[in-house]
Copies of this chain bind each other. A is one copy, B any other.
Amino acid sequence: MAYFISVDLGGTQIRAGLFARNSTTPLKVERARTRADVPGVYERLEALVASIWPQDGPVLAIGVASPGPLNPHSGVIIATPNIKEFRNFPLTEKMMARFGVPVFLDNDANLACLGEWKFGAGQGHHNVLFLTISTGIGGGVIAEDKLLQGFHGLAAELGHTTVWPDGPLCGCGKYGHIEAIASGPSIARYVSEQIAAGRESSLSGEKSLSAREVSEAARRGDVLALEAFSRAGRYLGLAVANFLASFDPSIVIFGGGVSRSGPVLFDPFHASLRENCFNPAYLENLQFANAALGDDAGLLGALALVMLSVPDN
């Protein structure tokens, strides 16, 4: 039997899965804590892969999903905000030297998009826009059955596109990115700032708010919480209108915790999208879907990457 291995490298845990060639059901999945601040993340990743290495047949290739920015062409992780030791880190080169098989790397949002397209909510579509909304906003694009990567492998970093030049500061240091308005922490920050400025809310007094708490308050009818999601939804609609004009997909797939907020986010989103979409033709037969792969998006996306990269698959 021949195998693939896929790895999902996250800020809190590393997961590695062993798959029979042409199967998406893992034969084995092992986990390790990333311990991002403790030296040796790469060694822990290597040990985890070694621990699931099969004894009865070759591994054809390994796929790795990692936080970016990274260069999928060279296999180098440029810098990950959470894992400090990965700065210009030649991950695929080191793994190929260790394991003697081809290793493919791309960023987690791109690979979640690829996974959703190949195995999840985007199956059968040729042009896919994927947005994951959680602590940040990540993007991925399939353009005519191909993952959009770009010259430096930095395409579809859609969370860091500006929709409001005078808007709030983004984690990246620029202003008015959609991530700075509609990510979970940005929604919670807006509520905290408004409370600090004297606004009434059932959330007053909470020390550090989470997007989930704001979402629950919104569902209870808290006016400020509703406003925070409405604001996020409106700018998200503006951002997606821009992405439609750029990529013209046939499906928009939402992943990440914030995307499970329901109508408090998506009613304002759809109203804003209709208002801001410059030509109604973009919306004809356009589908919206929730990501279907859940926690397995990284693992299955990295599997899709190796399946597509290794001939005869």
Chain A residues with CB under 8 Å of chain B are 69, 78, 126-127, 141, 143-144, 146, 148-158, 160-165, 170, 172-174, 177, 238, 241-250, 276, 278-279, 281-282, 284-286
In the assembled complex, the CB of A300 is this many whole angstroms from the nearest CB of chain B, namely 23
Assembly stoichiometry (copies): 2
For A281, what are the chain B residues with a Cβ–Cβ distance below 8 Å?
A: 69, 78, 152, 154
Contact with A162, one of B154, B163, B172 (Cβ below 8 angstroms): B163
How far is B248's CA from A78's CA once the two chains are assembled, in angstroms? Answer: 15
* Contact between chains at A242 and B245 (CB < 8 Å): no
* Contact between chains at B144 and A126 (CB < 8 Å): no
For A243, what are the chain B residues with a Cβ–Cβ distance below 8 Å?
A: 246
* Contact between chains at A154 and B78 (CB < 8 Å): no
Contact with A151, one of B148, B162, B250 (Cβ below 8 angstroms): B250
* Contact between chains at A149 and B248 (CB < 8 Å): yes
* Contact between chains at A127 and B150 (CB < 8 Å): yes
Q: Which 10 A-B pairs have the closest CB atoms?
A: A150-B248, A151-B250, A155-B248, A160-B278, A161-B242, A157-B245, A154-B248, A127-B151, A172-B278, A174-B278
Pairs across A and B, CB under 8 Å, 18 listed: A69-B281, A127-B150, A148-B247, A150-B247, A152-B248, A152-B281, A152-B284, A157-B246, A158-B245, A160-B279, A161-B242, A161-B245, A162-B238, A162-B241, A165-B238, A173-B278, A177-B278, A246-B247
How far is B249's CA from A149's CA once the two chains are assembled, in angstroms? Answer: 10
**In chain B, what residue has the closest Cβ to A175?**
B276
* Contact between chains at A151 and B249 (CB < 8 Å): yes
**In chain B, what residue has the closest Cβ to A154?**
B248
For A249, what are the chain B residues with a Cβ–Cβ distance below 8 Å?
A: 150-151
In the assembled complex, the CB of A235 is this many whole angstroms from the nearest CB of chain B, namely 8
In the assembled complex, the CB of A284 is this many whole angstroms from the nearest CB of chain B, namely 7
For A163, what are the chain B residues with a Cβ–Cβ distance below 8 Å?
A: 162, 165
Given A146-B144, A281-B69, CB of A161 within 8 Å of CB of B126:
no
* Contact between chains at B177 and A246 (CB < 8 Å): no
Further contacts, 10 of them, CB under 8 A, given A141-B246, A151-B286, A165-B238: A78-B279, A127-B150, A144-B146, A148-B247, A152-B248, A162-B238, A163-B165, A173-B278, A174-B278, A243-B246
For A172, what are the chain B residues with a Cβ–Cβ distance below 8 Å?
A: 278-279
* Contact between chains at B174 and A276 (CB < 8 Å): yes
How far is B162's CA from A9's CA once the two chains are assembled, in angstroms? Answer: 35
For A248, what are the chain B residues with a Cβ–Cβ distance below 8 Å?
A: 149-155
For A78, what are the chain B residues with a Cβ–Cβ distance below 8 Å?
A: 279, 281
